[in-house]
Structure 1
Amino acid sequence: MSLSVCLSFSLSAPPPHHGEDNLHYPWLMLSLSGCLLGQQPSDLHPMMAAALIANKPDFVKLFLEQGVRLKEFVTWDTLIYLYENMANSSVFHTKLQKVLMEEKERSAFSKVPRVQMHHVSQVLRELLGDFTQQLYPKPKNTERHRLSIAVPHIKLNVQGVSLRSLYKRSAGRVTFTMDPIRDLLIWAIVQNRKELADIIWTQSQDCTAAALACSKILKELSKEEDDTDSTEEMLSLAEEYEYRAIGVFTECYRKDEERAQKLLIRISDAWGKTTCLQLALEAKNMKFVSYGGIQAFLTKVWWGKLSVDNGICRVIMCMLFFPLLYTGLITFREKRLQPMTCLNRFRAFFTAPVVIFHLNILSYFTFLWLFAYVLMIDFQPTPSWREYVIYFWLFSLVCEETRQLFYDPDGFGLVKMASLYLNDFWNKLDVCAILIFIAGLSCRWIPATLYPGRIILSLAFIIFCLRLMHIFTVSKTLGPKIIIVKRMMKDVFFFLFLLAVWVVSFGVAKQAILIHNEKRVDWIFRGVVYHSYLTIFGQIPSYIDGVNFNPDQCSPNGTDPYKPKCPENNETNQQPIFPEWLTVILLCLYLLFTNILLLNLLIAMFNYTFQQVQEHTDQIWKFQRHDLIEEYHGRPPAPPPFILLNHLQLFIKRVILRKPATRHKQLKEKLEKNEEAALLSWEMYMKENYLQLQQSQQKQNTEQKISDTAERMDMLVEMLDLDRVKRTGLVEQKLAYLEEQMFQFSKALRWVVHSLSSSGFGSEEDVPTIVPSRAPEMKECHEEDVPESFDTIYHVSARNLMYPSSTAVCFPVPDEKVPWEVEFEIYNPPFYSAERQENASPDFLKDSLENLSRINFNSMDGDINRQSFHGTYLIEDGLPLNPMGRTGLKGQGILRFFGPNHALHPVVTRWRRNVDGSIYRKSLKKMLEVLIVKFPFSDHWALPGGSLEPGEALPQKLKRILRREFWPQFQKLLNQGTEVYKGYVDDPRNTDNAWIETVAISVHFEEHNDVEMKRMNSFLQGCDLEATVRWQVVDKRIPLYVNHKELLQKACVLLGAYY
């Protein structure tokens, strides 16, 4: 067998499925391995591309074992070819087409441009995030020279020109990408091809960053996936790659902590010049960030050059009295700093983020104390020196927020930095507080608005106090609680919307019933909103029921601005006249829904949020702890207002001296090439250790052992069954051959005897019968020895050479050519549709197929159900295709409809009884009796059922043997019965375009004296004089149609009866 033919057959074979006969698959792989012996790896590159596109991971493994190297396989043209042949249903393909359409609109092309790698890079950057650089930069020239590559059909004819022409190597051909394995991994991940991605990831070099990037891509794609199942698969795969990143990093951290931490902050050129830590944060991989090794690194950054063993108390003592630094109270992480000069120790201490953080806390508390003092005690028309200090202090805070906004060491640009700045909740709070303070300050300097200015400044003070919560997020005790409070605030907003509906509805109704034409807006607001809101907390208005009404507490005409308008009352005796019973009922309903329903709903929401967050509190706190550490890691060491000195220094350095911004090496570090290569090689070695550990743990797992044992037993049983079937088949073939020979020999002898008799050489004795012409008993036995099943792969009866009730001869179709997926170039079946009256069938075609356009296949076409139980069937040239494959005949045949012809077959049974009424048994199993019918001109008995007419629930053949009075009752029996089969029927009347599908329902009468059974028997007698109906003892030798025998057998299995 040639290599092309072998690979073509192998790649077109379907993968094995669980529960199916998959013994052919290992043999297929073994056969393919034999075909690949002696082949050069470069010759397998076209087959490798075909296997990748067809999603054949087993073949990809085989090609890799045969020496195919991914670094040599993945080239520029190969990568473009793979992206051109992506699955159209994938989200990435949709996003890629959108990019191409946008480029077409920008450049005014007449057609959509071809896929280039910079198009792919745009989509990848959207998925990975703007913090990464382009993975495939756009070439400077207009378009790189490309090979002409035809996009093949998904079946991938490996002998075609497209794949071969792609891999005709030229002398100047070079590999395009810096990391071909990364490119292939991305291609597999964006299509959610788990097995292919697993194979490629195991060969990747920068494996930790690759796993985190895959997790990020999958999470972003899942947000745009419409299919729920695909979304769950993507999220599950994203979580799996997060665990892989944790596993590899754990192995690295156990071996060498310093090297492992370098992996976190190493700038990866292959993944857009980002770091593993940044990828994990952007992907919100909380499990990875909360891992002990990453937290140890963050703690190390938090303490700067100080030793993590120093307590907070010692740090605060040295902050308040810095000469204690030289007493040995504070220890440093690096021993070389211990004996150094006083200035170096001073600089190392006050540049540590933990010290900067506590200095800012001290400064902030001082600011709040001074602010509160001025607002409550020292707020004069002419500002005092304390108030000027507050203004100066706030100016330093504004300068710090401005520095954070313009701090751009990665070159993202002002717009992107502004977006990142405003995405943070605490930055929004800072901006809000500063703007309100500036508004209050503006009013404060105008004498006429001095008091409103103080009010606005008081509101700013509230927001500055709320900013304290951000400071305490670093605390392991208070941090998680602050996270819970933030989540509960979201619940409150949803609750307020529901509460506002009830408050406003009750307030407006109450105001309209009690008060007549209130025109004061402030009192309308009080009556509608404020009083209704206070009612929830028990402050019920005294005038709502008229008992405690006091006219002195209200204004009759609403002229007193300090009193509400009086309710509707009698002017003579000043008694309220509004319907008290109505207001009381409204009040009770209002309190019922607000106090009991809504408030308990809020408590339940808080409880649910608390439980959800509490389960992952540690992970969430550790994840958000990074933001605070990063903020104070890059913050100037001096606290406000002394931070202005640092700002002045930065202004001189950046603006005047034009020095670029630099990032501290502890959070992002560019390694030398030699050091980076050694680090990545060490990481790959640790990855191999992790994979081996995973394999050993999986083998030791009890469930895995049970699964492996069960799989081996299933394979052994299948092999034994296969061997038995082969042996039985050989014996049957020999017996059939002998029987045929004997039959021919008998015919020859008869001819000889007849010839002699006609020539006058006859005998006085009768001619003995040598061999009967296929006795019915022998025929039955032969049919029973080879049972047929609805569950067989290929239909058999539908492929008879002679079509029933006609002279049409079917085209011979061997077993291997039955599926439509298998090419059968010489297949040319005849077209046959039985002649019938024009109105006898809705699908009557006359002389052409033009009427097919009005038929709605795969749906309800009026009263005709054209939906198949096997899902959506294919339509070719306007005709439906038989879901079970070729039959050798096109057209409608003698069936009534194109497509599925639905039928119903009730299997009506009862127990066979002895004379004493006990159930008869055979082979320890109960025996059944089944209701069967025989129609004229039929050689076999049948179950009482048949084809269903459009819109009818019972078949016509059943109605012929059952009186009309019993039809509704029989329909109830069917509804109470058990469905034993539903699907395709292997019937000789089936064609390529019309077939029978049935529903078999078991209706069993448990008791011999069942009332419904007796009624049915009475309605069966004398219904159709031409049909014969009887109760038949169930046995294999019943002269039933083969298909009906199969249905009967399924009913026996359901009831546990003998068959």
Structure 2
Amino acid sequence: MDDVTEPQTKEKLFFEALILDRPQFIHVFIKLKFNLSEMFYEKRTNSPWRLKWDKLAKLYNDNDKKKKERLYLFEKCLGKNQVDSEHDLDRVLRKLIGDYMKPIYTRSTISSFEKLKTCCRNSHMARVSDSRTCLYKDNDENESEIPDPEEAEKEVRELVYRDLYLWSILTNRIELSKILLNHMETRICALLIASKIFRSYFYYASDNESKDVICCQITQFEEYANECLKCCYNFDEEKACELAIRRLNIYGGVTCLQVAVDADDKNFIGQPCCDQVLNNIWYDKMEPFQSTLSDKIKLILGISTFGILAPFLVTFRTEQSLLNYTFEEDRQINGIKINEIEEEKKQLKPTTNKRLNDHGINYSDNYMWRSTKYSKSYLTYLRHLKHFHESPIVKYSYNSASYIIFLLLFSYYLLFNFEIPTDEIPSIHWTEIFVILMVTTMLFEEIRQFLCQENRTMIGKLSNYFITNQFHTVILVLSYLLFYIGLILRFTNTYSEEAFSAAKIVLAYDLEIWFIRSFVFLGIAQNLGPKLVMIRRMVTDLFFFTYIILIAMIAYGVVSRSMYNFNNETFPFDGQSIFQNIAYPTYYLMYGNIDGELANLDREQGSSTSIATHILLAFHMLFVNILLINLLIAMFSFTFQSVQNQTDLVWRYERYSLIREYYDRPPLFPPLIIITHVIELIKYIARRHSKTAQTKTFKMIGANRNVDREWSEFESYATNQYVRSLLTNQPLSIATLVPSKEQQLSSDMTNNNQQFQSNNSQSDTKLLADEVTSVKKVIADLRTHAEEMNRCMHWMMEAMERVKMSKEPRPNLTSTISTNS
């Protein structure tokens, strides 16, 4: 038994415990401080640790027993029997989680669409190139410090837990995933990723029982994620908000909110923490609690004056001061390169105490500008003016007002100035020019938003933009398509009044669609937003129900007209006649307009065809007007009630998309937005070979490694007790996890940790006792097994001695089992 202490034996036992799905063994191994980092990663001097792919591949491919289970769906998703390379694993994760997730096992390649984002978004210059000594290296980090070996090994250990956790989720080892989650730091995003993987697995399941089990797993992991976020929010609201939107490089640069929205987890989005972080982003550098009437009036006055009065009326966040940072140094500091000589660096003043990068969400980083040339009041006015126009709520207000003006001018243009070009009438009116510019610039903005999606592949962008919300897609495409078709007809069909009317008809229908599109601006209102969701779902119900009604209408129309001649003449076989004599009359029967139908039938009351048609009409009215219409009303009622029961959750979930859109929009509005597009295009051409450009992203990014480390440690500390309670299958209620008011207001994390541990010493003792009992049970099983093996060996030796198989004397076997307890 001495060879158990050898590293190779430890590794073999650990891998067998993983493959055989022995969670308690794994828990003991980790508790005994086995060096998992060197087991799965290769340590290299002055270089990032490198993954030992053969070790991870062994776990994914040695699952013969697990493959027989119905819930083992990894192979179906993979499309083949085994994982051959890191690319296969990244491909599966991208398929299950989403292609907005950067590869975590292979080097990320920048596609042409990624490069176009630099053109389509506001960019920043990275101060130095990245020099991280860990695997999840990202090119857009603004860091120059190199972590010490001890810190690097800690990061690699977290990578090992991530790799094993993803493996346990992908291969449906639920209890093992809970054990691994207990030792991880970034738990909330890990739980959301698990729910997203199971939601994707749902479509691969072949039977209803498997789908029910997967649904339970989805609900379970979503509940765990919600409770963990609540724990963080109860300890520190501000840090919990940052956790919800922080970028996690360890999981391919995703955020918790991003994964929750993609997984359709409305309960997570509807939590107070997520609601608060969305409010913070919506107001950005302005004070988010502008709820009183006077604050709203001041905000409206600031918007109506294009921000001129806003610095005097609107309340902004509390400002901080950066050490030795002046207004004139901004360009110089942002231009520092990594290859600067030491003498040049010493001439520069210390840079910043900034916590967050400027190209991400940084509403809490509000710093004063200082200058030796300009007064403090002048700089404060300029800073507040800049922050006012960069806030999403102001961009939304400008775009709303611009859209209303567009609708008014489009309506005026069609009503009063849409004429055939003649010598007396100009060929084009100024309102028409303005409308064309508005639509064209809005189209350019739609193209920019399409290219700026987080999806990394063209297929992912097309799927997310056009398939995810099909109702919005149809309205969007029709609005632009009909406008440019009508515009072409307006300048080509000028030879007659009848031909010219085609252009007016197309543009009139297009105007109707533009009015419908204006509903999207109502989504920010808490009372009206869910109603738009109801309308969208009811339209979907109506679309599928129309097929049933259409069959009933065509059946009655064809049969009744074949039996009875309503117009005393045979109509010709063409589209117009068929619609006039069959489709239109039977359609209006649905609304109870049967007077014309009865009058035609009463002309020949005694005829057999008239009587048969009367009977058919009665049956048609009973089936369509009584049965089908009431069934449709019941479907609408069900849709209404399902949305009404979770109004707040639906509104907060839909509000995320709107805030996400306006956060990324330029400050200018159509048609002036074309100026921003031209400027960004020129910038893109000027820096197309630059590798240090940063694009604006809807994520919170730490300015240095300490911020990321602080976030991870806080998440681990705040969720520790709840995650440990999952191992006993008795999750604690959130009430037992809420700290006292003094703890919430305290800023000393060490004191909080000591108080937390002392208050929960009994719980820790119980958990430790359970672990000791489990270890004793495992040791007892091993002893029993060894004693049985010893007995068998004695029997074999005696048998071989009886048949004299060897001239050598029989060796003595002594029991190695100690009798000490």
Q: TM-score range by the shorter chain?
A: 0.5 to 0.7
> Retained in 2: the 8 A contact 1:253–1:293?
yes
Residue matched to 1:607: 637
> Retained in 2: the 8 A contact 1:216–1:283?
yes
What is the count of residue pairs matched by the alignment?
A: 605
Shift of 1:678: 3.0
Residue matched to 1:377: 416
1:280 counterpart (260, 268, 272): 260
Residue matched to 2:571: 518
Shift of 1:345: 2.3
2:628 counterpart (595, 598, 609): 598
Shift of 1:436: 0.4
Pairing of 1:911-930 with structure 2 (within 5 A): none
2:67 counterpart (88, 93, 97): 88
Shift of 1:606: 0.8
Residue matched to 1:690: 722
> Retained in 1: the 8 A contact 2:245–2:255?
yes
For 1:283-328, what per-residue CA distance to the aligned partner results, in whole angstroms no more than 9, with x for missing partners?
2221111111111111111112111233443322222234762673
Residue matched to 2:383: 344
Amino acid corresponding to residue 514 of structure 1 in structure 2: Y
TM-score (norm 2): 0.68
Distance 1:518 1:353, change over 3 A: same
Shift of 1:652: 1.5
In 2, Cα distance between equivalents of 1:374 and 1:462: 14
Shift of 1:666: 5.8
For 1:406-462, what per-residue CA distance to the aligned partner results, in whole angstroms no more than 9, with x for missing partners?
336x68255543443324443542232011000001111120332110110001001
Pairing of 1:966-977 with structure 2 (within 5 A): none
In 1, Cα distance between equivalents of 2:504 and 2:79: 58
Residue matched to 1:440: 486
Residue matched to 2:752: none
> Retained in 2: the 8 A contact 1:531–1:541?
no
Pairing of 1:416-427 with structure 2 (within 5 A): 416-423=460-467, 424-425=469-470, 426-427=472-473
Residue matched to 2:549: 499
Residue matched to 1:117: 86
1:673 counterpart (702, 705, 715): 705
2:588 counterpart (534, 542, 552): 534
Distance 1:135 1:341, change over 3 A: closer
Shift of 1:264: 2.6
In 1, Cα distance between equivalents of 2:419 and 2:87: 64
2:298 counterpart (314, 318, 323): 314
CA-atom RMSD in angstroms: 3.5
For 1:1014-1039, what per-residue CA distance to the aligned partner results, in whole angstroms no more than 9, with x for missing partners?
xxxxxxxxxxxxxxxxxxxxxxxxxx
> Retained in 1: the 8 A contact 2:722–2:732?
no
Q: Aligned with 2:531: secondary structure?
A: helix
Distance 1:289 1:98, change over 3 A: closer
Distance 1:79 1:93, change over 3 A: farther
Structure 2: segments with no counterpart, 5+ residues: 42-51, 110-153, 321-367, 369-375, 421-426, 735-787, 789-794, 797-821
Residue matched to 1:218: 198
In 2, Cα distance between equivalents of 1:284 and 1:323: 37
Shift of 1:700: 8.8
In 2, Cα distance between equivalents of 1:637 and 1:125: 33
Pairing of 1:37-56 with structure 2 (within 5 A): 39=5, 43-56=9-22
Shift of 1:365: 0.7
In 1, Cα distance between equivalents of 2:79 and 2:505: 56
> Retained in 1: the 8 A contact 2:77–2:204?
no
In 1, Cα distance between equivalents of 2:650 and 2:25: 42
In 1, Cα distance between equivalents of 2:490 and 2:429: 13
In 2, Cα distance between equivalents of 1:586 and 1:539: 16
Shift of 1:127: 0.8
Answering whether residue 222 of structure 2 is matched by residue 257 of structure 1, we say no
TM-score (norm 1): 0.53
Distance 1:654 1:415, change over 3 A: farther
Residue matched to 1:355: 394
Amino acid corresponding to residue 124 of structure 1 in structure 2: L
Shift of 1:221: 1.1
Residue matched to 2:26: 60
Between the two structures, name the one with larger relative contact order (CA 8 Å, sep ≥ 6). Answer: 2
Distance 1:470 1:73, change over 3 A: same
> Retained in 2: the 8 A contact 1:407–1:661?
no
Q: Which has the larger radius of gyration?
A: 1
Structure 1: segments with no counterpart, 5+ residues: 5-35, 102-111, 141-173, 550-568, 570-574, 702-816, 818-823, 826-1059
Residue matched to 1:107: none
Residue matched to 1:921: none
Q: Aligned with 2:202: secondary structure?
A: helix
Distance 1:300 1:427, change over 3 A: farther
Amino acid corresponding to residue 49 of structure 1 in structure 2: F
In 1, Cα distance between equivalents of 2:222 and 2:256: 11
Shift of 1:547: 6.5
In 2, Cα distance between equivalents of 1:406 and 1:491: 31
Q: Aligned with 2:67: secondary structure?
A: coil
Deviates more, 1:662-671 or 1:364-373: 662-671
Residue matched to 1:391: 436
Answering whether residue 172 of structure 2 is matched by residue 192 of structure 1, we say yes
Q: Aligned with 1:684: secondary structure?
A: helix
Pairing of 1:286-301 with structure 2 (within 5 A): 286-301=266-281
Residue matched to 2:96: 127
> Retained in 2: the 8 A contact 1:506–1:590?
yes
In 1, Cα distance between equivalents of 2:697 and 2:488: 43
Answering whether residue 418 of structure 2 is matched by residue 368 of structure 1, we say no
Amino acid corresponding to residue 518 of structure 1 in structure 2: F
For 1:894-922, what per-residue CA distance to the aligned partner results, in whole angstroms no more than 9, with x for missing partners?
xxxxxxxxxxxxxxxxxxxxxxxxxxxxx
In 1, Cα distance between equivalents of 2:720 and 2:701: 26
Residue matched to 1:79: 56
1:400 counterpart (437, 440, 445): 445
> Retained in 2: the 8 A contact 1:492–1:602?
yes
In 1, Cα distance between equivalents of 2:697 and 2:430: 42
Residue matched to 1:892: none
For 1:96-154, what per-residue CA distance to the aligned partner results, in whole angstroms no more than 9, with x for missing partners?
477575xxxxxxxxxx88733332222122111111122221799xxxxxxxxxxxxxx
In 2, Cα distance between equivalents of 1:347 and 1:427: 34
In 1, Cα distance between equivalents of 2:317 and 2:698: 14
Q: Aligned with 2:185: secondary structure?
A: coil
For 1:726-760, what per-residue CA distance to the aligned partner results, in whole angstroms no more than 9, with x for missing partners?
xxxxxxxxxxxxxxxxxxxxxxxxxxxxxxxxxxx
Distance 1:289 1:126, change over 3 A: same
In 2, Cα distance between equivalents of 1:135 and 1:432: 39
> Retained in 1: the 8 A contact 2:102–2:253?
yes
Distance 1:178 1:189, change over 3 A: same
Amino acid corresponding to residue 456 of structure 1 in structure 2: V
> Retained in 2: the 8 A contact 1:90–1:191?
no
Deviates more, 1:607-616 or 1:478-487: 607-616
In 1, Cα distance between equivalents of 2:83 and 2:298: 66
In 1, Cα distance between equivalents of 2:238 and 2:398: 30
For 1:10-29, what per-residue CA distance to the aligned partner results, in whole angstroms no more than 9, with x for missing partners?
xxxxxxxxxxxxxxxxxxxx
Q: Aligned with 2:99: secondary structure?
A: coil
Shift of 1:614: 1.6
In 1, Cα distance between equivalents of 2:485 and 2:93: 44
Q: Aligned with 1:223: secondary structure?
A: coil
> Retained in 2: the 8 A contact 1:96–1:119?
no
Residue matched to 2:115: none
Shift of 1:52: 2.2
Shift of 1:200: 1.1
- Greater share of strand residues, 1 or 2? 1
Residue matched to 2:777: none
Residue matched to 1:8: none
Answering whether residue 610 of structure 2 is matched by residue 580 of structure 1, we say yes
Amino acid corresponding to residue 436 of structure 2 in structure 1: Y
> Retained in 1: the 8 A contact 2:74–2:171?
no
Amino acid corresponding to residue 437 of structure 2 in structure 1: F
Residue matched to 1:466: 516
Amino acid corresponding to residue 609 of structure 2 in structure 1: P
> Retained in 1: the 8 A contact 2:77–2:92?
no
> Percent identity at matched positions?
27
